[in-house]
Structure 1
Amino acid sequence: MNAAIKQYLVVTGNYWAFTLTDGALRMLVLLHFYKLGYSPLEIASLFVFYELFGVLTNLFGGWLGARIGLNKTMNIGLFLQIAALAMLLVPAELLIVPWVMAAQALSGVAKDLNKMSAKSSIKLLVPQDSQSKLYQWVAVLTGSKNALKGVGFFIGGFLLTHIGFQGAVAVMAGALALVWLLSLVLLKKDLGKSSYKPKFKDMLSKSGPINLLSAARLFLFGARDLWFVIALPLFLAQQLAWSQQAIGTFLALWIIGYGLVQSVAPFITGKKAGKVPGRWAAVGWAFALCLIPALLAKLLPLPFPTETLLVSVLLVFGAVFAVNSSLHSYLIVSYAKADGVSLDVGFYYMANAMGRLIGTLLSGYLYQTQGLEACLYWSSAFILVTVLLSCFLPKAKSYLRTNT
């Protein structure tokens, strides 16, 4: 096994462990505070700092990674997640909204440091002329991460039901501490450290294609979180009377399936034919996705069995969204410059986090004031913006020739 593959496995293992705790923590917080009687908008507010600090982390984290190395930013991310979990181990009466928001803020910093470091590292482990392999490695990393996030959702619901909020948090903090210690030993020194010292002004991308792709990503992930993050689980609990464990299990299985589709996205989009996706692949898959939430919103008031309809359409949405996400993840790593790669990737995931922040807030507000159908229509509108922005992306091969 060569050194690049060993580092890829270490990075992926790191990312997997972090993702399990991240998914479990989100489900724990959502279901625990719903059980305490919080409104949809109040629950959404708990995640505001998580997403807001993710925006800032991606911007500054990319700059930090280029200066000190991606191994350090990844390990810092793991440590901060342990600290965020430790903050939630206080007595139940101290788990007030500002304290939980502060813990979520720290978790948001941790998550995006970890993700930016993992995604940027792949660029450095694959030769520039191996775009097909780059796409496959990015797809496997992203897909496996999301599958494990689904497992985390399940773990969160299961642990909350059987050992309670604080017991679940303690178990996750202890397990992640062991992973952090291993990471300190195994990650290669100075991975991703730039050959020059980037300045603060270098944090903002100067590349037109990266700016366009980042804007498209913002609306793509805003569209998903508009109905999936707050509105959907609360609809399942309030309107369909699902239990906490049933909601956690269902969302876990959805995320796992979504991650598996992401992993095989290169084969869906033409890897067997030797094709590397570019502009029109991004446009076509986004347009297909745009139709799905609007269709569901149209069908919900009609006399169809609600559970069957919702589950069926959600599965289709998840599969098509997974291909879109995998395509975007490949394109940003492909577009990014190798020297200081984390600057470009960090900028892009800043837009990703901004989309999630906007989607989360709108999800809570729209569901509380107008219901699930409004969230779905807004979701389609956001994806339509992604379609329009993707029309202006460069052709893959011509951009790669000019960017090497």
Structure 2
Amino acid sequence: MRQYLLITANYWAFTLTDGALRMLMVLYFHQLGYSPLNIAMLFLFYEIFGVVTNLVGGWLGAKLGLNKTMNIGLALQIIALVMLCVPIEMLSIIYVMAAQALSGIAKDLNKMSAKSAIKVLLPENSEGKLYQWVATLTGSKNALKGIGFFLGGVLLSNLGFQGALWVMATALTCVWLLSLLLLKSDLGKSKNKPKFSELFSKSPAINALSAARLFLFAARDVWFVVALPVYLAMQFKWDHWWVGGFMACWIIGYGIVQTLAPRFTGKTQGLLPTGKTAFKWAVYLSVLPTCIAVALITDFYPEQSLIIGLLVFGAIFAVNSSLHSYLIVSYADQQNVSLDVGFYYMANAMGRLLGTVLSGWVFQYAGLQACLLISTSFIVLAAIISTQLPNKNANLIL
């Protein structure tokens, strides 16, 4: 339990800086006159290196230990933050993309380590507790990411871009030093040295879940990452506080629902999520982006429709995300858990990459409505792929 709390606190601190940095980047470079597509390009290396990191990071976690990969992630995030503290004339697109590449590597090393560690810390055949712990970690992380969004907007308004970055780098350095001292050594280190050729999953269930995850997160990010905050600032004339605050509230609510996801998916009735559960919740989610798009196209209370639709979308998406997070940890091999989790989050990063690029490109040339319609098509694909997931774990093991 002590190690679980240390890992969770480590993950929380990292997540605050990650959410704040994301909001700082979008708002600050929009303020400088960057187009939506150019803003999306700033995150290109962040997502590309996240794909590579999840794949290789799972192997490193099994080989070196999850404590080491988690601490490496924290150190890289500190470096990325300091890199961006240069004078504004040095913030070229290539330079910012390089800093974001380090941040992407850091984020996915940290996340892979935290999620894998839960499987290692719990005994086998503890599926009910595993689901609750994963839901709590995932939900609390996303709630704090939302606070990070708000923090980014507040820091930008009060301290400016560089001042905000220095504050975050200093705070994260303190967390990193504590993590080096307190986190258990060799956590999650595989007894059998994993081969590099074992990076790609050979499990049909993990392959199917990873593909569904890719399209699920592409469906969110295609309209949420760049298109939505820029749309709120351009169309509704919201200032930094309002955009950052609203996005923060959305993510916080999303995280709270994730922690409650076991209640919505049958845990109180003695059931755990299966492939059928994943399919059902994806179907529920698929209708929402189209409804929001229709409201915007027909000019039916556009501001209210967008806000209400986004809140409902966030709640149902949170349940989808939480049960996926449980399923991957459940499906993962106990001895090489970081390899399977790393492969899965590689697909997650690929989905974010696809969604981020499309978010800027499609929004710039076709508007938010087109982003929403693409979101629906991605969710439908995720639902179809979910039909290939096994329907086991029907009975809860406490």
TM-score in terms of structure 2 length: 0.98
Which residue pairs with 1:233 in the alignment?
229
Task: Choose which of 364, 368, 374 in structure 2 pairs with 1:372.
Answer: 368
Instruction: Check conservation: 2:15, 2:145, Cα contact below 8 A.
Output: yes
What is the deviation of 1:302? 2.1
Which residue pairs with 2:341 in the alignment?
345
Task: Choose which of 340, 355, 360 in structure 1 pairs with 2:356.
Answer: 360
Which residue pairs with 1:283 in the alignment?
279
Greater mean deviation of Cα atoms: 165-174 or 288-297: 288-297
**Residues in 2 aligned to 1:352 and 1:279: alpha-carbon distance in whole angstroms:** 18
Aligned pairs for 1:305-324 (under 5 A) are 305-324=301-320
**Residues in 2 aligned to 1:61 and 1:301: alpha-carbon distance in whole angstroms:** 43
Which residue pairs with 1:59 in the alignment?
55
Tell me the amino acid that sits aligned with residue 288 of structure 1: Y
Quick one: structure 1 residues 276 and 154, their matched pair in 2 at CA, closer, same or farther if it must change by over 3 Å?
A: same
Which residue pairs with 2:295 in the alignment?
299
Instruction: Check conservation: 2:227, 2:359, Cα contact below 8 A.
Output: yes
Matched, 1:335 2:342: no
What is the deviation of 1:400? 11
Deviations 1:39-72 (A, max 9, x none): 0000000000000000000000000000000000
Task: Choose which of 217, 220, 225 in structure 2 pairs with 1:224.
Answer: 220
**Residues in 1 aligned to 2:122 and 2:260: alpha-carbon distance in whole angstroms:** 18
Residues matched between the structures, number: 397
**Residues in 2 aligned to 1:398 and 1:154: alpha-carbon distance in whole angstroms:** 39
What SS is found at the alignment partner of 1:275? coil
Tell me the amino acid that sits aligned with residue 270 of structure 1: G
Which residue pairs with 1:388 in the alignment?
384
Which residue pairs with 2:251 in the alignment?
255
Matched, 1:81 2:77: yes
**Residues in 1 aligned to 2:6 and 2:219: alpha-carbon distance in whole angstroms:** 32
What is the deviation of 1:303? 3.8
Task: Choose which of 127, 132, 153 in structure 2 pairs with 1:157.
Answer: 153
What is the deviation of 1:399? 12
Which residue pairs with 1:212 in the alignment?
208
**Residues in 1 aligned to 2:295 and 2:235: alpha-carbon distance in whole angstroms:** 16
Instruction: Check conservation: 1:135, 1:266, Cα contact below 8 A.
Output: yes
Tell me the amino acid that sits aligned with residue 235 of structure 1: Y
Tell me the amino acid that sits aligned with residue 84 of structure 1: A
Which residue pairs with 1:148 in the alignment?
144
Q: Percent identity?
A: 64
TM-score in terms of structure 1 length: 0.97
**Residues in 2 aligned to 1:43 and 1:128: alpha-carbon distance in whole angstroms:** 45
Task: Choose which of 8, 13, 20 in structure 2 pairs with 1:12.
Answer: 8
Instruction: Check conservation: 1:335, 1:400, Cα contact below 8 A.
Output: no
**Residues in 2 aligned to 1:130 and 1:193: alpha-carbon distance in whole angstroms:** 21
**Residues in 2 aligned to 1:130 and 1:271: alpha-carbon distance in whole angstroms:** 13
**Residues in 2 aligned to 1:57 and 1:129: alpha-carbon distance in whole angstroms:** 30
Matched, 1:112 2:108: yes
Q: Which runs of 5 or more residues in structure 1 are unaligned?
A: none
